[in-house]
Structure 1
Amino acid sequence: MSKSKQPIIAVFGSARVQPDDPVYMQSYEVGAALARAGYIVMTGGYAGLMAAASQGAAEAGGVVHGITVEKLEAIGESIPNQWLTEEFRYPNLRQRLDHLIDTADAYVTMPGGMGTAQEFIEVWQLMRLGDIAKHPLITYGDFWTPFIEQLLQSAYVSQRDVAYITNVQTTEDLTANLAEWFSKKD
């Protein structure tokens, strides 16, 4: 578990999703549910689903860690969202990803593009190879299901590989899954 007494849950998700998209509200609800359950929420610290989870957690009274990248800000691509309790800045994406992976006690993957896919797949592969300890790797909703099913049907991954991933459809299932995991770790 993290050095903090509270488990840290990384929430991966697209920076491009706008507040009027239903998945934005889902990410907000994920952040709020995690905070209410006593977890620290950690995101990439920027817009879209990262901001939604950060806002949800902050408005629920939780702690929000944002892991940001100087390079993205230097080229004018991103600015940190306003709901971060604590910001951890890195010069590049590689160091940011290392922090997200190495610091988290569990991972929740929302819909997203290349960056979210990289985060999700890297955690999955590192756990599969035993390079990092097994922690909950959770996909929220149905966005990633067709991708995982295609990998499985094409025999690019095995059923044993897929066993590292849990899919949940609701915040209740998410927090119950995490509570069960952490109760076994005590």
Structure 2
Amino acid sequence: MSERTPDPHGERATDNPDSIDLCRIIDQSVAQLWETVESLERLQPRNLQRFRVSVFGSSRVPPESPLFNDVKEMTRRLSAAGCDLVTGGGAGLMQAANEGATNGQLSTPASGDLPIRLIEGHTKAPFVEKVYRHRTFFTRLHHFVRLSSAFIVLPGGIGTTLEAMMIWQLLQVEHLPSTPFLLYGDHWNGLLQWVEETMVDNHYADRRDLSLPTVVTTVDEVVEVILMDFEHFQANNPAGTGNSVR
């Protein structure tokens, strides 16, 4: 007599067949939901009406840090020039980015509203004009991509690295058009060296992939690169200038 083939769902197959049906229904529903999202993406391609800059970075940097003040100055200048700022909210460098964007908005009539914030949960924070709440990290990252014309990656940990690598990969496979993707500071040198020596040298990635991020080490460099792209955006989207949030 042959042995019974184990069911992938374990004991639930014999003890509670209804639970298996429920699991299958949930799995199928999730798959159908993602198909719907992909269909909507095709129907409504990424057509940006505003020039928005997403800022990623650590939530652990204290306000007295020089980096905190550099980020405030960076986003102040971008906001004053008319760029929208998009952050994940929270403390540390996200707080610095939001504060700087608010200061830029207050300092010049060329700018409009406060930064957009994509968050998980129900946390509130000052210096934010518009909040989108997400229950999962994955939908939040997807929303960053949908909103943004440029990306600045500040020093950070695993979460910031995940965000950076997702943008990098989308640029690699051309799911994003040519977009400013800035890695700020010497913090990222080790990652870039690892990608070159472990991925590129072993033919897991192309050498041209190393040119997708731009390493910048000063606030002036960040502002110069972003505003150069902003000017190009304005030239091609004369009705989509300024930085009010829509």
Q: TM-score, normalised by structure 2?
A: 0.67
Aligned-residue offset at 1:29:
1.6
Mapped to 2, the partners of 1:39 and 1:56 lie a distance apart of 12
Q: Which residue of 2 aligns with 1:122?
A: 166
Match of 1:135 among 168, 174, 179: 179
Mapping 1:29-178, distance limit 5 Å: 29-61=73-105, 63-70=114-121, 73=122, 79-156=123-200, 157-178=205-226
For 1:159, the aligned partner's letter is R
Q: Which has the higher helix share?
A: 2
For 2:183, the aligned partner's letter is T
Q: Which moved more, 1:48-57 or 1:80-89?
A: 80-89
Q: Which residue of 1 aligns with 2:230?
A: 182
Q: Which moved more, 1:20-29 or 1:98-107?
A: 20-29
CA RMSD of aligned residues (A): 1.6
Mapped to 2, the partners of 1:168 and 1:47 lie a distance apart of 23
**Number of residue pairs matched?**
177
For 1:3, the aligned partner's letter is Q
Mapped to 1, the partners of 2:211 and 2:223 lie a distance apart of 19
Identity across matched positions, percent: 27
Mapped to 2, the partners of 1:172 and 1:120 lie a distance apart of 21
Mapped to 2, the partners of 1:41 and 1:145 lie a distance apart of 25
Aligned-residue offset at 1:160:
0.5
Aligned-residue offset at 1:174:
1.3
- Deviation track 1:152-178 (CA, whole Å, cap 9, x = no partner) reads 123444430111111112222112112
Contact 2:78 2:227 in 1 (8 A): no
Q: Which sections of structure 1, spanning at least 5 residues, go unmatched?
A: 74-78
Mapped to 1, the partners of 2:117 and 2:161 lie a distance apart of 19
Match of 1:17 among 57, 61, 67: 61
Q: TM-score, normalised by structure 1?
A: 0.88
For 1:164, the aligned partner's letter is L
Q: Which residue of 1 aligns with 2:52?
A: 8
Q: Which moved more, 1:153-162 or 1:82-91?
A: 153-162
- Deviation track 1:97-123 (CA, whole Å, cap 9, x = no partner) reads 111122110000000011110110000
3-state SS of the aligned residue for 1:144? helix
